Amino acid sequence: MKALLLIAHGSRRQRSNDEVIELADKLKSECAEHYDIVQAAFLELADILIADGIENCVNDGATHITVLPYFLNSGRHVTEDIPHDIDVVRPKFPDVQIFIADHIGASSAMIGMLRTAAIANQ
């Protein structure tokens, strides 16, 4: 089974974390043909950290997990912290493939979204 794990920074403000969880819930139907499981987890400041998210996906039957960093820039969190957290938990699940996708800010779709937002707010 394939899983998509959406990783956000995490916030002390619970409503911000809830928004990410709601986004993951919306992605479930949009990605259903590619992923059996879609969940959210956080780098810090939240209840479900990256290791918890990976474990939850595995417990739900995932054998392949794509980690999608919900970050705009390739700062330290994207280039160091997320890969480190995954490397720490990876030995616990040797039969599970864990792949880190490019952060969303690297997507070519960002230009279209920015353009749409700029025009909508004229």
The runs of H, that is alpha helices, within the chain are 14-30, 50-59, 76, 82-89, 109-120
pLDDT surpassing 90 at residue 114: no
* pTM for this predicted structure: 0.93
Band of pLDDT at residue 115, cut at 50, 70 and 90: confident
Set out the domains of the chain in order of their start, with CATH numbers.
2-120 (3.40.50.1400)
